[in-house]
Structure 1
């Protein structure tokens, strides 16, 4: 399949996913009619967040994992699985924003701040901040619940799909814990930072969505190993790109503020390499990023140590490894091309 045809297929997939998400969201929201007038704010915050943001990258990996396993593009079950992953991702982002005290996401105010303002505007009693965080947690839990509702439409392959989906959720929750604990402890090397990014982001962005598509298609067991050989280096490259954008990106393009990870002391591969190369001075600087001047100093240090250049080289190497894993693996040609295109799409964001 020519590249332009693969791109067209990816665009078609997004349209189909958006349509199915809309149907699912409306059906599930109808079950909350008992909320009365408060249903309007849930629609605005949670449904708006799911509908208006994101690249549908994870559903695309579900789809191409399904196609790689011989699944049909007309199989409704793969779109149900894609909706499940997208809803889980939306919930995870809302919870992540509470933990990180983030101000913006996808170019809009985060859910907990929106709900705090909602509380304030009505003059309700109690802490608006606490209300905002609590309701955002509930919205995140609701998105997780709706993900299960989506997965129920996977037909006879539901048990196999649910097994993969639960593994996906377990890994991302464990990875998020490692991320929080690591930042609190401070320090750490590039290997530890890589382990965190693998479980916090890489596996749930690439590997498990591919495995989910494979499970829905009832693909051959040997193919899971091939998909993992592609997914693991690509998942690491995806997170490395995210780390670079977190330090150097344009907020207008990324939809979130730059430098937040530095202020929170998050230990990424990028910052770990800078710390190792800069010695005690670098560690002290990276451990005490408080304001915009500190962010700029940390950014300059990362550049001066060559850590940013090293990250870009590593991204290129990892993507090459991922694509090479598809060669001679017996994957249908259109699926191999679709996965190669996704590798590029996932790691060139904002560049």
Structure 2
């Protein structure tokens, strides 16, 4: 089985999985089936399929054969990562009160609007909250179902389950750290990097690669290299996301400009800026602190952006992204990874850390 267009192949596996669940959701109630259709649209409407790609190429780099009889099952197992991603995004949008995702209403907003349009009883926003929590939970449960039902051989499944279980714990722990650092007002670089590691890096690059290695039965030196590469590139991926969350073009990112400032995100970008402002006794520090977490006007967003640039925080984060990427690539290059997969992982690392959306 050769997979010439991995994102399309992953989307096809996800579509097939949703098709396989339609009868069971209809048996519960056709209205539940209609609600699940919103989750299906959310999962299938876009995304770069980064996580399945890292898992697939991790498997290939550790000796997986795309022409082998186990390749279809491996592809389905890799595709299940998109349901973990769906859970994280649906819940993250709710926690951040985000209105849009990929240019469309977020799940909680879509259900709140549906409640209003139907003239149902009660509070629309509360209904949207409840529906999005439940659909995010369903995505997480179905991710497990998709992995375990992928058709993997017993040894491969036994090897990958501990990796999968660790990844689930880490992403939920990272989400908790994200909201915790916000409410505590923790401005330290250490807190920002710890959150980036577990909220994003672990389930975006590190564990998908580890999963691919486990599926292939890779030796420890390959696993160790993948995890070092995955941690560094995954954190760099999140740092790029932090920059886009403040400076990104809404037409490209699908989210409002300056959204991370309005949400009060305690990112490394902000940490660098506040530390420099405090060292210089700059009034920019007070302006940044007072602006975080408020419903800012576009002109106020522009002002805070200028402070971040003038304080050198943007340059510092760009340097950190470059350092992490180079260190991760060096770890990958030191391991016995299949050359085609190594080249693909190099390209994916560059794409993940230099992207504009």
Task: Provide TM-score, normalisation by structure 2.
Answer: 0.92
What is the Cα deviation at residue 321 of structure 1?
Answer: 1.4
Q: Distance in 1 between matches of 2:138 and 2:33?
A: 15
Question: How many angstroms does 1:98 deviate by?
Answer: 0.9
- State the Cα RMSD in Å: 1.6
* Structure 1 gap segments, 5+ residues each: 1-8
Could you say which residue in structure 1 is the equivalent of 2:310? 304
Cα deviation, residue 77, structure 1 = 2.7
The question of whether the paired residues in 1 share the 8 Å contact of 2:26 and 2:33 is answered with no
**Residue 216 of structure 1: how far off its partner (Å):** 1.1
Aligned equivalents of 1:144, 1:233: Cα separation in 2: 26
Partner of residue 24, structure 2: 31
Q: CA deviation at 1:196?
A: 0.9
What are structure 2's unaligned runs of at least 5 residues?
A: none
Whether the 8 Å contact between 1:115 and 1:132 is mirrored in structure 2 is: yes
Which of 171-180 and 216-225 deviates more? 216-225
C-alpha separation in 1, matches of 2:110 and 2:345? 37
| 1:73 paired residue among 61, 66, 71 | 66
Q: Deviations over 1:262-315 (max 9, x none)?
A: 122211111100001112634322222221243222211100011111211221
For residues 16-165 of structure 1, the aligned pairs below 5 Å read: 16-39=9-32, 41-74=34-67, 75-152=71-148, 153=150, 154-156=152-154, 157-165=156-164
User: SS of the residue aligned with 1:350?
Assistant: coil
Which shows bigger deviation, 32-41 or 297-306?
A: 32-41
Aligned to 1:166: 165
Render the CA deviation track for 1:43-79: whole Å, top value 9, x for unaligned: 5421111111210000000001101111112412321
Q: CA deviation at 1:339?
A: 0.6
Q: State the distance in 1 between where 2:164 and 2:258 align.
A: 32
| Corresponding position of 2:205 | 206
Aligned counterparts of 1:20 and 1:195: Cα–Cα separation in 2: 33
1:185 Cα deviation after fit: 1.1
Q: Which residue of 2 aligns with 1:287?
A: 289
C-alpha distance in 2, partners of 1:328/1:321? 11
Contact 1:164 1:208 in 2 (8 A): yes
Aligned to 2:232: 233
| 1:154-175 residue CA offsets vs partner (Å, 9 max, x unmatched) | 3322222221111111011111
1:219 corresponds to:
218
Change in 2 beyond 3 A, CA 1:260/1:10: farther
Contact 2:25-2:33 at 8 Å conserved across structures: no
**In the alignment, which of 9, 12, 37 is matched to residue 5 of structure 2?**
12
Shift of 1:184: 0.6
- The total of aligned residue pairs comes to 343
1:333 matched residue in structure 2:
339
Aligned pair partner of 2:351 in 340, 345, 348: 345
Retained in 2: the 8 A contact 1:81–1:213? no
Q: Which residue of 1 aligns with 2:258?
A: 259
Provide the secondary structure at the position in 1 that maps to 2:255.
coil
